[in-house]
A and B are shown apart, each in its own frame.
Chain A
């Protein structure tokens, strides 16, 4: 919201409005109070009327350079200055700068005797003079009804007030008139009859011993305005109204991812993590490690150099830092670097609306990219389920508008259905992790599921997760013939599997060795057979050779004998053939 003077740029058709400069108020009134007209601010004692009025003037003087007159009927100048000094308003400086006039109208009933007719011209002249002396554009009358108790003649007071309001309108100053709330009526003396342009009701309601300040615009002539009850609170910076119900479903959907801080969990979520500006619900029973998951998430964000805001409703900052150190996450260094901020409060410290307001304010001040609320279930201690859900809806909408990734931890009671998130907000969430303890064989083991992750292809498997001294470790749960096994059962099963694996490996090795031996044996046999054959072959060849030689010699001998006997040639020839034959056989 820019705090510039926009009165001049507004179209003529619509009612001109005067910005109050009170955070949030100008949004619900679509621009501020009706300019140049009186506005009635009513509420019971302690509702914040005087402060609202004073802030209207101080902001006017400091932000819009519009001087103002504060006419007080209840508190003295000094009291007023002291009261608002705690909000950082330096009235004395504003008075010195001629930006503000405090006029304390003190009426001591016992000093006054009434005789005959009179009017309140003196009061008007005082006001007139104050307005003219600094050129005031804004006027506060706090609490005008004091006149009724101060002056005995009510008819005169009424007639004079009517004249005053008419006169203020003619004067063109934007006036805020505060009024006590009456029994069953807006104001004790019916001033709303006279101031009909804009009526604002401040309320401080106590529910379950927790008070919540609320504001409602009862009437605003000639303009549209938010009609809801808006929570507001008063802190060291003054008034803040929260127009948070006006959010809608028009936020953008970024496509970047935000790591969960746990590698295996990122892997389960398509390898990247959650979508940026998504809302993540982590639900689980007590002691399942929800906060540790959140700490991982913050650790990752701060390591990337982003700012993170941790709303802790159960533990103090030191306690969280100490506990997370035991799982190897050092959050303290991020706190020192200014990247991480804790906002710790008991849920019962304020009402839901104020919690929401505080969260808003903290987010506006710190501008984080990651927010953790741990746990949201504690809000049920403050309001009922409908209120808590409405509050979370608004918180989620707000975070989405600011493109902030939000992680919400939700404690599920052990008896209830595990997929039953206590506050009934699961439908609002983009991603939902469920951590639960699974009890079997006399031990509890932690299991993690991703119940849903909108727009992300995610693993459907349950993972066992361990809290180690270096953070969360996700382990595949054993899923086999005997069902899902976790913890020691898983480790025993794994041991058993390892043993049988070893046995199988040994059997294979044995078979391989046997094969090798057989081959060696075969080869050796082959070798010996071969050498035996060769020996036998040589022997046979040798015999054959000798036989040849013998035949040849016999033929030669016969030839020699024939020659010696001088045999005929024919017979010779036959013999020669026979000898040749014999030679051939020897060769073969």
Chain B
């Protein structure tokens, strides 16, 4: 399941700088917390990217936070587990933990698909 990530997929910011955003008005504000470049975090980012491209094209914004470098930030969103995806917008806040390998559950968790 774990694949070697491509260079494009590894583009991320450790200091909270947004990654390449698709669209000027991002209705979907997503934040992915990871801890280091583990295979799990890499695959989580890849899975997220794929889902977003498929379902939210042009209206999402992903921010990747590496807690290895910024452990302080874990307090803000009450992060315990990594990887954790936080849906900051639209409200309410939703959290999805795990490597996001189950696309269906991610869609349910993000309220893209009804439960």
Contacts and interface: CB of A to CB of B under 8 A. Distances in A.
- Determine chain A's interface SS by DSSP, over half rule: mixed
Interface stretch (A82-90, A118-126, A456-464, A505-513): A118-126
A118 B96 CA distance: 10
A525 B36 CA distance: 147
Interface residues of B, number: 34
Contacts of A111: 92-95
A12 interface: no
Contact of A125 (B35, B83, B101): B35
Interface of A: 103, 105-108, 111-123, 125-126, 128-129, 147, 150-151
B98 to A, nearest CB: 4
Interface in B84-102: 84, 92-102
Contacts of A128: 71
10 contacts: A112-B95, A113-B96, A116-B98, A118-B97, A119-B81, A120-B81, A122-B67, A122-B74, A147-B80, A150-B80
Residue among B83, B92, B97, B98 with the highest chain A CB neighbour number at 10 A: B97
B52 interface: no
B96 A114 contact: yes
The 3 closest A-B pairs by CB, nearest first: A113-B109, A129-B71, A116-B98
A115 B106 contact: yes
Contact of B75 (A114, A119, A126): A126
Given A105-B80, A112-B95, A121-B81, 14 more contacts: A108-B78, A111-B93, A112-B96, A113-B106, A114-B96, A114-B98, A116-B98, A116-B100, A121-B35, A122-B33, A122-B35, A122-B67, A125-B68, A128-B71
A120 B80 contact: yes
B99 A117 contact: yes
B108 interface: yes
Nearest to B104: A115
B105 interface: yes
Given A112-B96, A118-B99, A125 B71 contact: yes
Interface in B53-93: 67-68, 71-72, 74-75, 78-84, 92-93
Contacts of B101: 115-117
Nearest to B39: A117
A396 B106 CA distance: 70
A161 to B, nearest CB: 12
Residue among A106, A107, A108, A122 with the highest chain B CB neighbour number at 10 A: A122
A116 B84 CA distance: 11
A121 B75 contact: no
Contacts of B33: 122
Interface in B21-71: 33, 35-36, 40, 44, 47, 67-68, 71
A118 B35 CA distance: 11
A74 B89 CA distance: 27
Residue among A105, A112, A114, A125 with the highest chain B CB neighbour number at 10 A: A125
Given A113-B108, A114-B105, A126-B75, A121 B97 contact: no
Contacts of A103: 75
A518 to B, nearest CB: 124
A147 B81 CA distance: 10
